[in-house]
Amino acid sequence: MATHVFGQAIEITGVAATVNGRVITKKEVRSLLAPTISILKTKYPRGGEAANMEFKKAQNDVLEQLIENKIILTELEERGASIPEYVIDQEIKRIVNDVFNGSEAAFRQSLNDSSTTMRSFRNAHKEKILVQALKSEQFGGEEAPPSPQEIKEQYALRQVEYRDRTQDKITFSKIFIPIKDGPDSTPEMQLALAEQVAFNLKRGADFALTAKKYSADAYAEDGGQWPETSRTDFDPSFAELLFQSKVGEISGPFKDPRGFTVVRIDDVNYGPSPALSEVKDRIIKEIESEKYKERYTRWIKTLKRKAIIDRRI
């Protein structure tokens, strides 16, 4: 069984790798790649070398992490480690908020698109949490605890990342070129038009005049200017690309089932960040993780050299 990504057949059944006899399935890899694939398909309407390079890098990163997890799980089995189900519930809730704009329906659709059951998704993240717990136990006790100043500095550095993303809002201008399939206008012709529009805008063409001429969007007559819109009103993949773009930047064309979109970001208002006291425990774990990262890297490299690893993708 295969799915297609950028014109390539990607098998989702079978073995991706084995680690000391433990199997990593292609389905496991595909499940963790699902949000990335969705974003890449939106970002790269034509696919191409850049899309394939990003996809292969993401796939390799996921596979290497799964290999490390399997190695560490051997250690965990010997210790009889376990975690309560509510911890997994909290992690899934965080993923729904951060990756799927708080939409349970979008999350479930992503699982369906990647042929992943909720049980297998929960198991994958249970392994991930167990692995993180072992890292903290194995390496977290040798350095001094983070100082109050370190905690404050980490909070200041990553405050925006801790925010409630479901309350993000954005103001942008948009040109929408619909997909048409007929003798005078094909999807390929419409994509070429969207690419030309983006090229002209980047060269200094007036956005409002261009929107009035080419856009089939509801706000075309207003020069493509949209009112402030919540992140949760967008498809998650489109929202991720919008909020990654810089103010004033021309981005796209992005693809969705209806057509191609070129945007200019006019203003971004991020959702509120929690108080330091609400994320203090998380910050402490992040600082500790960064401190033991070098020792962990040496340790896992040693275990990998001793392990019997067979990569098949």
Max CA-CA distance within the chain?
A: 70
Please give the pLDDT value at position 249.
94
Whole-angstrom Cα distance, residue 109 to residue 237?
13
Q: Judge contact between 134 and 72, C-beta under 8 A.
A: yes
Q: Strand ranges (DSSP E) for 139-249?
A: 169-178, 229-230
Grouping H, G, I as helix, E, B as strand and the rest as coil, residue 309 is: strand
Nearest of 13, 124, 110 to residue 65 by alpha carbon: 124
Grouping H, G, I as helix, E, B as strand and the rest as coil, residue 115 is: coil
Nearest of 311, 168, 176 to residue 256 by alpha carbon: 176
Q: Judge contact between 128 and 69, C-beta under 8 A.
A: yes
Please give the pLDDT value at position 40.
92
Q: Judge contact between 171 and 228, C-beta under 8 A.
A: yes
Digit-by-digit pLDDT tens for the chain (313 residues) are 555 565 555 666 789 999 988 899 998 898 888 888 889 999 999 888 999 999 999 999 999 989 988 888 777 776 766 677 888 888 888 888 888 878 888 888 888 877 778 888 888 888 778 777 777 666 765 667 889 999 999 999 999 999 999 999 999 999 999 998 777 788 899 999 999 999 999 999 999 999 999 999 999 999 999 999 999 999 888 999 999 999 999 999 999 889 999 999 999 999 999 999 999 999 998 888 888 787 888 888 888 888 899 999 8
For the record, the structure tokens of 307 come out as: 């392990």
Write the CA distances from 218 to 31, 119, 183, 290, integer angstroms: 36, 42, 25, 48
Q: Packing angle between helix 26-43 and helix 118-139, nearest 10 degrees?
A: 100
Q: What is the CATH number of domain 169-269?
A: 3.10.50.40
Q: Strand ranges (DSSP E) for the chain?
A: 2-5, 8-11, 15-19, 22-25, 169-178, 229-230, 250-256, 259-269, 309-311
Please give the pLDDT value at position 162.
92
Please give the pLDDT value at position 295.
82
Topology of domain 2-162+293-311, CATH: Triger factor/SurA peptide-binding fold (1.10.4030)
**CA 294 to mean position of chain CA atoms:** 25
For the record, the structure tokens of 20 come out as: 């000391």
Whole-angstrom Cα distance, residue 18 to residue 282?
33
Residue spans per domain, the chain: 2-162+293-311, 169-269
Strands across the sheet containing 229-230:
229-230, 169-178, 259-269, 250-256
